[in-house]
Amino acid sequence: MIVRFLISNAYASGGTVRTTLNMASELANRHSVEVVSIFHRHEQTLYPVDPRVRLRPLATPLQPTGEGFVGDARRRAQEWARGQPSRVVHVQDARHALYNGLDDVHLVRFLRSVRDGVLIATRPGLNLAMARYTRRSVVRIAQEHLHLGRHRPGLRTAIQRQYPKLDAVTTLTEDDAGDYRRLLEDRVRVACVPNAVPDLGPGRATLDNKVVIAAGRLTGQKGFDRLIRAFAKVARKHPDWQLRIFGQGKREEQLQHQIKRLDVGANVALMGYTHELPAEMADASIYAMSSRFEGFPMVMLEAMSRGLPVVTFDFPTGARDLVDDGVHGVLVPNGDVNGLAAGITQLIEDDTRRKTCGAAAVAKAAQYDTPALGRRWDVLLDELVTAKSAARRGAG
């Protein structure tokens, strides 16, 4: 079976990129797998790509146009297209501004070229384009990497209208699957297939180091401003503990100012991006999650697989899927900064509870290992391919 993943940028960082490449590697054990990236803005990917997986960028720089009048005309046409906003990717997709008219050309050309196998798109704008431009002979699956509640009304309306043309929609949580079934009125199959935690290799936290860790893009979504406020309260009681935040992004300067304003520079550090995050997790004792929303918090699951208990806001969606309060850590009402500080403090002050929750976290993460989720994908793909073949025979 040929399985293709369509992603905005396989060369960037982020949970969607990491989980797509991880599952592509797992499925390559049994299928021919290709990852198609709209953008190609770096020489190398930040995450490893299995050599069995073909990575194909859709070129976005200006293409060779030849000489003379025809070449000049083509070059001007490409330059004009690059200056136009995308009309293929839905305007309410959160990444719409990254696409231009030339990207539209490459995207539509690719979608129309696919004639067989399975195509899995990984964000709403690409899912909608797939519904419009890809042949019905292809098994087309729309992946939701956030949750339906995050989408603006116009995008939800387009989803309601276009997704029933697809063969399936997958979500990361059962709650979100229920929301999609209600919106789509069971006109297309909706299945919950969570992301799998990759094998991070050996190494488990001893939970003895006085370090709380967090990781993610430095954006408003990740809520590190809330975490820093919470840890300022923790540091007053436990000045020998540190908070290390790994990641990079547009909020870095604001967060540095906040650290200075709260006078917690001795306790809170923005560590930047690292390729060694699993090792950094193994060197910590608590994982803190302060996101305002998530689809499925992969980095938290990775921390749990390293044996870290979690203190997290109960954001929509995914936190309560992974963390039972008092079992795997502490679940705090979303936005309750004082509660987040109290949860971290509880685990700092109770060594036994910290280690009991850490052991439970390892067991929970094992339920999401890559082979187990790969088998779930295999079952779904086999059922969809069989249904597509039966429909073709019936039409014939």
pLDDT digits (tens, 9 = 90+) for 300-349: 999 999 999 999 999 988 898 899 999 999 999 999 999 999 999 999 99
Percent of the chain beyond pLDDT 70? 96
Q: What is the mean pLDDT of residues 199-205?
A: 86
- Burial code of 8-45, b = ≥16 C-beta within 10 A, e = fewer? bbbbbbbbbbbbbbbbbbbbbeebebbbbbbbbeeeeb
CATH of domain 211-366: 3.40.50.2000
Helix (H, G, I), strand (E, B) or coil at 14: coil
More confident residue, 203 or 136: 136
Which pLDDT band, with edges at 50, 70 and 90, does 62 fall under?
Answer: very low
pTM of the model: 0.80
Q: Quick one: pLDDT at residue 66?
A: 56
Cα separation, 131 vs 180, in Å, equals 16
In 83-207, at which residue ranges do the beta strands (DSSP E only) sit? 118-121, 139-143, 168-171, 189-192
Class of 2-196+370-395 in CATH: alpha beta
Q: Identify whether the C-beta of residue 154 lies closer than 8 Å to the C-beta of residue 92.
A: yes
Residue 61 has pLDDT above 60, yes or no: no
Cα separation, 78 vs 62, in Å, equals 6
Q: Tens digits of per-residue pLDDT, 77-113?
A: 888 888 999 999 999 999 999 999 999 999 999 999 9
Percent of the chain beyond pLDDT 90? 80
Q: Identify whether the C-beta of residue 127 lies closer than 8 Å to the C-beta of residue 106.
A: no
Cα separation, 145 vs 176, in Å, equals 10
Cα separation, 251 vs 207, in Å, equals 30
Question: What stretch(es) of the chain map to CATH 3.40.50.2000?
Answer: 2-196+370-395, 211-366
Return the minimum-mean-pLDDT range out of 55-64, 161-170, 237-246: 55-64
Q: What is the mean pLDDT of residues 111-117?
A: 97
Q: Which amino acid is at 282?
A: A
Q: Tens digits of per-residue pLDDT, 12-59?
A: 988 899 899 999 999 999 999 999 999 987 778 988 999 999 999 997
